[in-house]
Structure 1
Amino acid sequence: MLGVIDAGVHQFPVRATEQADPTSPVVILLPAMGVRASYYRPFIENLSRQGLTVVGFDFRGHGENRPRAARGVRFGYQDLVDDVADVVDLVSKHYPDAPRFLVGHSLGGQITMLYTASHPGRVQGAAVLASGSVWWRTFPGAQGVKNLVGTQLIAAMSTLLGYWPGWVFGGRQATGLMCDWARQGRTGRWALDGSTTDYEKALGALRLPLLTVSVDGDEFAPPSSMDHLAGKARQATRTRRHYGLSDAGADKLGHFGWVHRSAELSRWIGDWLASSADGVGRLGHVEPEPRA
């Protein structure tokens, strides 16, 4: 175990699958909504075979992160961004000479974009996998209208109950998280409760290597949704890939299934990280970022 983050009510362990070389690139893996970090074990093993140190942890309310979402347990997107900041600080202490990268899936991809935009220079690149904007206009036809209605109903029910029980979608979640999610689904803009950061402006100024990978059969994050999320970082150096059935050697992939057929995707990520690390150079020691 790399360490334990103390975030007030929430304390959660951070675990690492390490390489012998302490200067090996470090991947910090951010999970999807409602998904435990342990689900990504096959993906972590494949990334490790690429010579990468992989750091993982559970988002608030999931897996080893307690307490679970409930009435009176309040957190939103900004809290997840702050948790990532703590994890990056921890990683920088343990691996001061290694380049650091975020790799996020679904919700983790959204948080990856928001963190890198609001904390420039803390990581050397970001990869967004099977992720995208929730904005209803980025989905084709009737699916967009269905998503608009669904996101707003979930936010309303979460507000009424004091948390989202996870019926049908997303797992058990805090009201604040689902309201942030639904707002972006309605407006197409990132404006987080409890934050003074202008995320739209910060994303527009973001300059770093960015890998985006859409996945065959992914109805939750089609390429149009991915393009809307990544397109906000218009100054980032984007590498766009699509992970198809032939790439994975699979009959079916989808929003979650790619994790179990991720060998070739991991090779893509390893190659991209190597080229990105060569481009930015190796890091020296970086002091943890002070926060108010």
Structure 2
Amino acid sequence: MPAPLVLISAAMAVPSGFYRPLVEELEQRGWEARALPTRGFERGEPTASRTHDWSYASEMALIADEVAKARADQPDRPVILLGHSLGAQICAGHELHHEPSDGFVAVGASVPHFRSYPKAGLPVLFLGVSVPVVARIRGFVPKPFFGAPGARTLMREWARFVRSGKPPFAVPKRITTPSLVVQLQGDTYAVSRSNKIFTEAFLDPEHSTRWVYLKDAVPEGGTTHHVMWVKTPGPVVDRIIAWWGEVEK
């Protein structure tokens, strides 16, 4: 079987170019990889505004299109979705509501319910309450707010997720796609509890593996920071490749 193609779905407000080190690391191992465009954050593309809006569902549909194109181009090559942070939530929705991929990797994933965070989750709850107010007034979420410039619908859906703990899409069953959840030790955005809730809420335990990327395992100059792990992704790529070898057995 050919080596997989990895389609990377970005974290909130992170442009696709940021994932170049991850793409290169995967390709050095003989895999194929591509970071999908981050709507509203690619150079030369329109940003969110009162007239330019999108949602979780529309993002899930874009991933479905990319998976279908990849399979049409190379039918024998497995397609793995790698979702980072918000991208992991969107990929989870894709796996539940579209033709699933062959593998799902979630890095820095969470159910961002405020109650799963320290300090009673009050800083996170503040975002969950303030973001929809600003989005309603301005028609989008402007800077300097979190995730800005953010699309009105997606950010309101995300904020509701923060307040209620209920995802902005139905979860009729657990995902049975072979899945790997990577928890970044010390991640202050996807804290351990919220990451465990993500795993339990979305993934069938018989088809999923959870791995904690420990600070002791980072290469020189590396980190397990929620976003900056991408700069030195070798240990994460090592674990993904080892996991996929177990899936293929």
Bin for the TM-score computed over the shorter chain: over 0.9
CA distance, structure 1, for counterparts of residue 6 and residue 61 of structure 2: 18
CA distance, structure 2, for counterparts of residue 267 and residue 253 of structure 1: 15
- Tell me, yes or no, if structure 1 residue 75 matches structure 2 residue 45: no
Matched residue, 2:180: 211
- Which digits, 9 at most, give the CA deviation of each residue in 1:232-288, with x for residues without a partner? 124242211111222112464311111112111111111112222x15xxxxxxxxx
**Percent identity of the aligned residues?**
26
What does 1:148-163 correspond to in 2, within 5 Å?
A: 148-163=125-140
What does 1:161-200 correspond to in 2, within 5 Å?
A: 161-192=138-169, 199-200=170-171
Going from structure 1 to structure 2, the CA distance change for 1:24 and 1:45 (only over 3 Å counts) comes to same
- Tell me, yes or no, if structure 1 residue 269 matches structure 2 residue 203: no
Going from structure 1 to structure 2, the CA distance change for 1:234 and 1:252 (only over 3 Å counts) comes to closer
- Tell me, yes or no, if structure 1 residue 246 matches structure 2 residue 216: yes
Matched residue, 1:222: 191
The amino acid across from 1:267 in the alignment is: D
Going from structure 1 to structure 2, the CA distance change for 1:54 and 1:233 (only over 3 Å counts) comes to same
Name structure 1 gaps, 5 residues minimum: 1-21, 193-198, 280-292
Determine helix, strand or coil for the equivalent of 1:104: strand
After TM superposition, give the deviation of residue 231 of structure 1 in Å: 1.0
CA distance, structure 1, for counterparts of residue 4 and residue 98 of structure 2: 19
CA contact (8 A) 2:158 2:168 kept: no
Matched residue, 1:111: 90
- Tell me, yes or no, if structure 1 residue 126 matches structure 2 residue 95: no
- Which digits, 9 at most, give the CA deviation of each residue in 1:32-78, with x for residues without a partner? 11001100111111111222110222122121583210111121111
CA contact (8 A) 1:217 1:252 kept: no
CA contact (8 A) 1:131 1:214 kept: yes
Determine helix, strand or coil for the equivalent of 2:8: strand
- Tell me, yes or no, if structure 1 residue 136 matches structure 2 residue 114: yes
How many corresponding residue pairs? 247
Matched residue, 1:147: 124
**Aligned-residue CA RMSD in angstroms?**
1.8
CA distance, structure 2, for counterparts of residue 60 and residue 252 of structure 1: 27
CA distance, structure 2, for counterparts of residue 233 and residue 251 of structure 1: 30
CA contact (8 A) 2:161 2:167 kept: yes
Determine helix, strand or coil for the equivalent of 2:227: helix
Matched residue, 1:98: 77
Determine helix, strand or coil for the equivalent of 2:243: helix
Q: TM-score, normalised by structure 2?
A: 0.93
Matched residue, 2:200: 231
CA contact (8 A) 1:165 1:173 kept: yes
CA distance, structure 2, for counterparts of residue 275 and residue 98 of structure 1: 17
CA contact (8 A) 2:5 2:80 kept: yes
Going from structure 1 to structure 2, the CA distance change for 1:275 and 1:64 (only over 3 Å counts) comes to farther
